[in-house]
Amino acid sequence: MNRYLAFLLVVSLGSGLVSCKISPQRPSAPDYQMEYVVEGVSFSMVKLPAGSFTMGISSDNRRAVKGGVAQEVALDGFVITEKPVSQALWTAVMGKNPSSKANPDLPVDWVSWDDVVKFISKLNKYTGKTFLLPTEAQWEYAINRFEGQGSSILEEWCFDPFSSAENGYFNPSILLVNPTGPEKGDQKVVRTFLTRSPLNRKIKREKLGFRLVQPTEETFPEQLLEVLNGNTVNRDPVDASREITETIEVNGVSFKMVQVAGGTFEMGYTATDHPGGLRFEIPENEQPAHKVTLDDFALGETEVTVGLWRAVMGSVPYLNDMERPRTPVGNVSWYDCQDFLQKLNGLTGRKFRLPTEAEWEYAARGGRRSSHTPFSGSAFVGQVAVYSSTAGGAKPRTEKVVVKSLRPNELGFYDMSGNVWEWCHDRYAEYSAADSVNPVGAAEGGNRIMRGGSYASPWTACRVSNRSSIPAVNVKGSFGLRLAL
């Protein structure tokens, strides 16, 4: 699967050069332990599950990595040394200690990338196991899990040849699976918690060390890869003939799902969508209006709240106040939403998902009960939306408010205009005049659809036909979500 996972280290002692023969095959039977002893020196491994995360930004979506770029990554499971390799372990394997300040309990330093390759080759021969240098993605994934503990004192080598954000290896429009960097390069990645930089593989310096990893048997779930990479929607059939509202509880927090009877509607800007007496340019991406037919589905009565996010994830992203659990969660990317949905589905045994763009607009318009208003539930934005200002220049909003603060639309949905933007499942695609049934967006592309506007938006963004195209890795305090079934 991955050129890195089974690379074979060959040390050419005669020439003094180190080369890497890299096999594309994953080890057929991962062989790892959680505790090791080498010549009386013990070290421990920490097991990390397969998962996805956004490289280039801290796990709380608060701080960017200097020299990095936001990039969604999926990884198979692995184990990594709990601490950087110690001077004691290096000496046990190599016979001498090169460190700048000798202390067997401290991390080894003053070792080049080539030195590390030689060390790993000897360690593998001694133990009969396959140890590897962590890829940059594995390193950052682990350090995020460790919440940056112990990573700022020491720089650490990674396996990858260095690639800058500008030269094309990173591609925020796609999901990278088990990335290993460019194929070649003498400049290798050196990492700290919030920095990444290149360094020649032969350079050694003070406070530059490394960790070890080993692959485990756990692979990233294929079903989730299909969701992240594809444009199919994994759903359970919904029978909305009785239009039931279901209350669901997760770890003490309840929320409601409202069934929506499917039907055919005009999607995109129409004459009835024009707010009376207000001037604005009709965006091209809302045209042409076209007929869309949808099956029954269910949608969250409100946006996902801070309380529900915490009940599922155990914490909340930066810029969310746990003392205000009834406000909508924000500062989440499209990929963060997928992580949340995966965990929620594991807790409930259901198939929660993001709504498609067509489902979102149909529900925002009121479905079969639509009054054909420009905003969700009203012809007057101030009745239904928390937004930044009015055409008359009223005082701007500065923050989101508790869900259900304003009146609902015809189907009982709150805040589909304003409060926070809501991610949809779909990749962005231009509209076509052709009729469609249960559309799910474009098959390719890195931008996903957001709908509804927010507390920080002008009134024009809160219209039911307004659509925004945003990179799936982006986060912002006004970016939230609503559940669908």
Instruction: Return all residues near 56 (Cβ < 8 A) that are at least 6 apart.
Output: 64, 65, 68, 69, 70, 71
> What number of other Cβ atoms are within 10 A of residue 192's Cβ?
18
Question: Considering only CA atoms, which of 420, 413, 405, 424 is closest in space to residue 376?
Answer: 413
Q: pLDDT value at position 27?
A: 55
> Which residues, in sequence order, are bridge partners of residue 51?
75
Separation CA 66–CA 290 (nearest Å): 45
Q: pLDDT value at position 405?
A: 94
Separation CA 206–CA 228 (nearest Å): 41
Radius of gyration of the chain (CA): 26
Q: pLDDT value at position 397?
A: 65
Domains of the chain in start order, with CATH, are 25-220 (3.90.1580.10), 228-480 (3.90.1580.10)
The two tokens of residue 248 are 């669901």
Q: pLDDT value at position 396?
A: 56
> In 382-467, where do the E strands start and end?
421-427, 436-437, 447-451
Q: pLDDT value at position 257?
A: 98
Separation CA 75–CA 164 (nearest Å): 21
What is the block-wise mean pLDDT of the chain (485 residues), using blocks of 10 residues? 44 35 50 95 95 82 80 93 96 97 96 98 95 96 74 82 76 86 91 92 96 94 81 85 94 97 96 77 92 97 98 92 94 94 95 97 96 92 84 61 95 96 96 95 90 93 95 93 98
Q: pLDDT value at position 151?
A: 52
Q: pLDDT value at position 167?
A: 60
Q: Are 333 and 341 in contact, with CB atoms under 8 Å apart?
A: no
Q: pLDDT value at position 260?
A: 97
